[in-house]
Structure 1
């Protein structure tokens, strides 16, 4: 079995960034931050076509319309149904997918995309400029990534196989936004886009190697090999290049119970388990037919409700930060599979990693807590902390955070729900004060969800808004990095979130699986089952 894990590879911007080797020498790093990973991208032999892949997720997504949710479960499924104009290779550089090529005008305001001809949708119709324009303009209107990195823009048809993106202002991040993996701009037939409701598209038709068959709620999503798929000719590299569907069918099974996940993976019922409990890593590692994998996938932390309630006051957020021993939380919740780092961008991203504000990270100070609580006249009103057992690291972290906060006199009501209910409650600011969630890697700081005014945490202050604008409109990466350092330092003062640590996902992969890639989520094309 070959597992290809590219998540730890460098996420540098197009040709503007300098690739550098990943370092594991950070003084604050856990020694276990990537146990079981394998960066070999070569198959051990001839891959076998046919068979069904049984994949297990610990939760089902709220939707599989890729632009309607930032949930990683949405991304992990929808990337196998829909494709984009631009994608990324293993070095996170933009590469063409449904676009054959592109040109950029001298003023940076017009991007011309030449489309691949003869590409079929899953309904048998050919993809043309009409479909691309409809899909991309819907994405521009709804995607927080598009709004933060591109701003005002419109896609227009030039001819049947050519489209243009017209911008109000130039941006050095356009191609990265188009190739991003979260809330990505999947291309769909025009009629499907036009029929979409406020909750998303009602039919799932794309151009990817697998086509949607069925979503059986609370059980599985069934995908089937798309026989008329036309792969690119370039060698596969990351998400770019040739994509081959070896499996006849893919079943993404939703199994919230950790013991059921473990039993299914170790007995061969499931070929790949994803998002498994951290305390099961050693059991996976000792299983005869399973390889245990734990790549770092991003960061996780506390989200504060800044719309209303106690955390609208910055000093209450600062009091929580001063109360917590973050490493104790990470160690208990992640079973040693974490890395302590104050940088909101991962340390491998040398163009963006920052140490600004690190003196405020993981520095508990009970006296400071009491002084801050006195300043705001905290009266003992309990905080409403919502969480779910479906993500063990969230629940385990929440339990420890509650204990630590109550030790310094901050009361907490811990409310435990299924994940779907948490997603519903967090959209209503009157229902919660804080929650735990994970944040996947992003290519630029301005893509971080917690810097978006429309996200669940609430509005940003004026200084943050200005620095985000300065980063997005910078002429060079070097200039943008200066603004980003200032913003990270400011963020540790006002705490849009409270980062706990970089975190991993625990996976068990059957040793008969060949060519499996994990790059910002699992990849089922170019993967096979060899008996």
Structure 2
């Protein structure tokens, strides 16, 4: 039974509670999920935010997805593609009998139109668009993608739920989608902005074949509740208000572990916090000033302030952790310098005139804010004038698209199986990091198919990253989530899913 009751006053308005209770499905089996904020879109093509991916994966699907071992497997595709010997032609068979939430049937025309839109509007789609010669329907349930040259990350891009190559009915497509219509196991029933998103089971859902997880549609309803304050998410989980809570502060681990109503979920290793640097406009277009920032940052202190216990973080420079094929030590002599004098000398060399260094961050991910506080003190000690702009996560998402509005914004990323899924490496990302050597290496990296050669190339890319300060990895960290003790079928994940969730009675 759902737990949405008058106790939900924590962090929600009375109107939200009344609306939720008035729902015609409120008496059915419901899983209530506290997320870090309101998704700014339900069209996953248009966002790289994890909160968007978490929500939209339940009602919008892609041709392919990842299994538990990060292998690409079919989702809306009927099988893996046939790929030409030169790696430029992908022939993709589509599943038959797939129904959109509006009752229409998916065919190759829908897929072609959706993939073309993804190439035009999505961050990750645009990263490959200049290599795509054509996307054509070569049968009622077959699509062929032809490239101008081999592009090794293509299948990972088609499988990723973040800036996703989502498949929609052709008829609803445009620069913006007014009402999202997908094929997923759940569909949108009601949305009260900043209050809740109610999803209900889609009765005509067609299960994937060929390796993707079976999506049981166990709950009748999934309700995502934006709760910007992390401590409110913790209290709501402990009180039984929420069945699952995402993005919890590290210091809440022991309280949750000792609780009789909830359990902590530690995702280890999860990913890396990053100081994203503006190469398009402003102070940090000067490489020497970027190097001053890099030299000044006290990584140990920042991570300890953010997480408080080393079971939650690792001071580690390489872009991938131990055990990953992509791990390399190249360039890491520039990691965690914590050298105030060097930073001050670099600022003097650059002729720094006191222009404010604008750091954009949010408290909805509390560890972002705590890292920023420590960084601010260290940067000021080196001679920077720091303007820390603290906004909500939705506002940060908007402001980071304006190069005139910031110099650094703070975010994080899970470790991803394919480096090219990290858009920050590409010149056309919002960072605008363009470096002649790096760009040439990225081109070679994305066209090379030999795994050993790709590892060598990525090592060189990492070396340039540290030298040119493309962006700054702060370290590695483990993510904390929490679930109700009686919730089954949900595991720790960067993008937790709830289609197999059950509340044990």
Is TM more than 0.5 here? yes
Q: Please give the residue correspondences for 1:259-298 in structure 2 after superposition, counting only pairs within 5 Å.
A: 259-295=231-267, 296-298=269-271
Q: Say whether residues 1:184 and 2:164 are aligned partners.
A: yes
Trace 1:5-84 onto structure 2 (pairs within 5 A): 51-84=29-62
More helix, by proportion? 2
Contact kept, 8 Å, 1:181 with 1:520, in 2: the verdict is: no
Q: For residues 85-484 of structure 1, what are the structure 2 equivalents within 5 Å?
A: 85-101=63-79, 102-148=81-127, 151-193=131-173, 196-197=174-175, 200-232=176-208, 240-295=212-267, 296-336=269-309, 337-349=312-324, 351-484=325-458
Aligned to 1:508: 482
- Could you report, residue by residue, the CA deviation over 1:135-186 in whole angstroms, capped at 9, with x for unpaired residues? 1111122233334357324321112111111111122222222112321111
Which secondary structure state, in structure 1, belongs to the residue aligned with residue 441 of structure 2? helix
1:349-383 alpha-carbon deviations (Å, 9 max, x no partner): 2x211111111111222232222112112233321
RMSD between superposed Cα atoms in Å: 1.8
In 2, Cα distance between the equivalents of 1:364 and 1:400?
A: 12
Give 1:214 deviation, angstroms. 2.2
Alpha-carbon distance, 1:500 to partner: 0.5
Question: What is the DSSP-based 3-state SS (H/G/I as helix, E as strand, rest coil) of the residue aligned with 1:100?
Answer: coil
How many equivalent residue pairs? 474
The equivalent of 1:27 in structure 2 is none
Is 1:529–2:503 an aligned residue pair? yes
Distance 1:384 1:253 in 2: 31
Shift of 1:218: 0.7
- Would the alpha carbon gap of residues 171 and 233 (structure 1) be closer, same or farther in structure 2, given more than 3 Å must change? closer
TM-score when normalising by structure 1: 0.86
Supply the distance in 2 between the matched residues of 1:258 and 1:498 (Cα, whole angstroms): 25
After superposition, the C-alpha distances for 1:28-86 in whole angstroms (9 at most, x for unaligned) are xxxxxxxxxxxxxxxxxxxxxx6101000121111110110101111111111111111
Distance change (3 Å), C-alpha of 1:68 and 1:510: same
Query: Contact 1:212–1:223 at 8 Å: present in 2 too?
Result: yes
CA contact (8 A) 1:140 1:153 kept: no
Offset, 1:459:
3.4
For 2:294, what is the secondary structure of its paired residue? Answer: helix
SS at match of 2:474: strand
Is the CA contact (8 Å cut-off) linking 2:229 and 2:363 kept in structure 1? Answer: no
1:36 matched residue in structure 2: none
Per-residue Cα deviation, 1:410-450 (whole angstroms, up to 9, x for no partner): 22122222222222222222222222111233232223222
Q: CA deviation at 1:333?
A: 0.7
Encode CA deviations 1:319-358: one digit per residue, 9 max, x unaligned.
1111121011011112321122212234342x21111111
1:269 to partner: Cα distance: 1.1
8 A Cα contact 1:290 1:511, kept in partner? yes
TM-score of the pair, normalised by structure 2: 0.90
Structure 2 gaps of 5+ residues are 1-27
Q: Tell me the alpha carbon deviations over residues 264-296 of structure 1, each in whole angstroms, 9 at most, x when there is no partner.
A: 101111000001222222221221121111213
1:519 CA drift (Å):
3.8
Distance in 2, Cα, partners of 1:259 & 1:515: 25
Q: Secondary structure at the match of 1:55?
A: strand
Give the equivalent residue in structure 2 for 1:9. Answer: none
CA distance in 1, matches of 2:494, 2:246: 12
Give the Cα separation in 2 of the matches to 1:190 and 1:530.
Answer: 41
Residue in structure 1 matched with residue 17 of structure 2 by the alignment: none
Q: For each residue in 1:212-233, what CA deviation from the matched residue of structure 2 results, as whole angstroms up to 9, or x when unmatched?
A: 1222111111111011112135
Structure with the larger RCO, 1 or 2 (CA within 8 Å, 6+ apart) = 1
Rounded to whole Å, the distance in 2 between the matches of 1:474 and 1:516 is: 37
Distance (Å, rounded) in 2 between the aligned partners of 1:396 and 1:431: 21
